[in-house]
Amino acid sequence: MSFESEKSFSDFTNFPRGIRRSGRFSVKESELLEEFGTAMMEIYKGERKPKDSAEKEFAAQIHSNSIPTDPFAKVFKKYLKEISPRKTHDLTASGGDEDGDGSYDSSDDSIE
């Protein structure tokens, strides 16, 4: 059988209440991750060589930039996306003032 592992997968660092209770995965996705996630992570990190065609397909899809079609690759890419750092945008504007105190002096705006 593909993705065999003796221990179930958990990531309490990123999901302190567990993958199933995080609300980010469906029931089926969380079951796949918990049951096969350890093997998928080992293949992803290169700690384990793919044993059969399903694992080879997973490895090929997980390391490519294409959209995965394999259900294992789909759920594992979703997991990787969920644990990746979020990109944030700073929406504060710089007033361009020289003194850096954040104040704006309207007397500098002269209309001619």
Query: 72: which 2 tokens?
Result: 């294992």
State the DSSP string of 46-99.
TSS---SHHHHHHHHHHTSSSPP-SHHHHHHHHHHHHHSPPP----------SS
The domains of the chain are located at 1-85
pLDDT tens digit sequence for 14-51:
999 999 999 999 999 999 999 999 999 999 999 999 99
User: What is the per-residue pLDDT for 6?
Assistant: 87
User: What is the per-residue pLDDT for 27?
Assistant: 95
Structure confidence at residue 2 as a pLDDT band (50, 70, 90)? confident
How far CA 12 is from CA of 15, 22, 35, 76, 97, in Å, comes to 5, 10, 15, 16, 46
Q: What average pLDDT does this structure show over 69-76?
A: 94
